[in-house]
Amino acid sequence: MTDDPLPSLDGFTRRDWQSGETTGTIRVAMVGLGWWTREQAIPAVAASDFCETTAVVSGSAEKVRSATDLADSIAHGLTYEEFHDGVAADAYDAVYVVTPNGAHLPYVETAADLGKAVLCEKPLEASVERAERLVEACGDADVPLMVAYRMQTEPAVRRAREVVESGAIGEPVVVHGHMSQRLLDEVVPDPDQWRLDPGLSGGATVMDIGLYPLNTARFVLDADPVRVRARAVVESEPFDAVGDEHVSFGVDFDDGTLAACTASQSAVQSSFLRVTGTEGEVTLDPAFYNRQNRGFRLSVGSQSVDYDFDRVDQMTEEFDYFAHCLLTGTDPHPDGDHALVDMRAMDAIYAAAERGSDVEVESA
């Protein structure tokens, strides 16, 4: 950054985390073969510089068979039992866990027992207690644990964080963030899906997509949540059990910034993040969906610029960052402790919605 109020942000999509001389390949086993793994993760890894998928793991023999065809590098299709038994464990270096939230723990425990690095999907688990056990398992086994907040390796988000850190918008004052999609109409048209089962998901909307404005605000501000207030509303019957279809929540950060966030599983696909400071603003709109356009606007005083940049595949960036950390012996971020803060914050959001009062986010 320079002192120019509207910096050029040269090399917008540069990988600021990548060192030039790094070589090598991390072999990944993917655990859980839902649409996300098949349509996003496997193609993203195939396009990556530092990873390849060598094993896939699922409870469904049919899913395993069809997934082994998705990339030439996939040599092993394992059942969950075979994975727990360590079958073909020599064929992979790291495990990407992308099962339903409430099933992350046993697969991460097995990965840790096998001495494998772990990339675990967010949210970490379906409850704070299980998430703490997950982090502890990786710590006890001394295996690297990264949590798959793909926004943290999205260039637009990294540039927003740099802009805020540079002071270009002054001190951050308020943040608005939103994420919505039509889960049942457009994403997963099945009312029996695990996201709507509170035991497997821990909540439908805050846990699945409300997490994006929450965590991205944390990352851009470099601040942590201390207090929340919230409202959760259910309009359609499939959301009765989980209790959150549309949500609105306020988050007070430890730097004094106030965030106003919303999320809905039954609204048009939309996402944005807007940080308003004493001197300017930075806005990502659209912000959060992979393989969707990104917008990046920086305003300082009355000047405003929309930056053009090439969209990257967020999953490729995320996997390459994770693999690069492993290849260079660097601790990956976001780690388990970072993700536990979100788990506690989301627990507080659900409690605030239930009680109708502000709730402090518990400390570790």
Write out the residues near a second copy by the rule CB under 8 A: 169-170, 173-174, 176, 178, 180, 182, 227, 229-231, 233, 235, 246-250, 252, 256, 258-262, 264, 266-270, 272, 274, 276-281, 299-302, 355-358
CA distances from 298 to 273, 275, 301 (A): 12, 10, 10
Least CB distance to a second copy at residue 100 (A): 25
> Of the two residues 337 and 354, which places its CB atom closer to a second copy in the complex?
354
Least CB distance to a second copy at residue 178 (A): 6
> Of the two residues 1 and 47, which places its CB atom closer to a second copy in the complex?
1
The structure tokens listed for 339 are 């993700």
Is residue 145 within 8 A of residue 118, CB to CB? The reply is: yes
Omega before residue 334 within 30° of 0, cis = yes
Please give the Cα distance from 150 to 118 (Å, whole number): 15
Least CB distance to a second copy at residue 159 (A): 19
CA distances from 198 to 104, 130, 190, 203, 284 (A): 15, 14, 15, 5, 31
In three-state secondary structure terms, 276 is strand
Least CB distance to a second copy at residue 261 (A): 7
Least CB distance to a second copy at residue 267 (A): 4
Least CB distance to a second copy at residue 275 (A): 10
Q: Would you put residue 108 in left (φ > 0), alpha (ψ -120 to 50) or beta?
A: alpha
Please give the Cα distance from 337 to 343 (Å, whole number): 10
Please give the Cα distance from 298 to 283 (Å, whole number): 6
Least CB distance to a second copy at residue 235 (A): 7
> Of the two residues 106 and 295, which places its CB atom closer to a second copy in the complex?
295
> Of the two residues 268 and 364, which places its CB atom closer to a second copy in the complex?
268
Omega before residue 198 within 30° of 0, cis = no
Is residue 326 within 8 A of residue 22, CB to CB? The reply is: no
Q: Which residues contact 9 (CB under 8 A, 6 or more apart)?
A: 159, 163, 298, 307
> Of the two residues 22 and 292, which places its CB atom closer to a second copy in the complex?
292
> Of the two residues 133 and 227, which places its CB atom closer to a second copy in the complex?
227
Least CB distance to a second copy at residue 122 (A): 22
DSSP 137-193: HHHHHT--EEE--GGGG-HHHHHHHHHHHHTTT-SEEEEEEEEEEEIIIII---TTS
306-309 contacts at long range (C-beta below 8 A, 24 or more positions apart)? 307/9, 307/12, 307/159, 309/12, 309/13, 309/155, 309/156
> Of the two residues 266 and 314, which places its CB atom closer to a second copy in the complex?
266
Is residue 243 within 8 A of residue 196, CB to CB? The reply is: no
Query: Which class for 342: exposed (0-12), middle (13-18), buried (19 or more C-beta within 10 A)?
Result: buried
Give the bridge partners for 360, in sequence order. Answer: 227
> Of the two residues 189 and 256, which places its CB atom closer to a second copy in the complex?
256
> Of the two residues 58 and 264, which places its CB atom closer to a second copy in the complex?
264
> Of the two residues 203 and 336, which places its CB atom closer to a second copy in the complex?
203
Least CB distance to a second copy at residue 350 (A): 15
Least CB distance to a second copy at residue 285 (A): 9
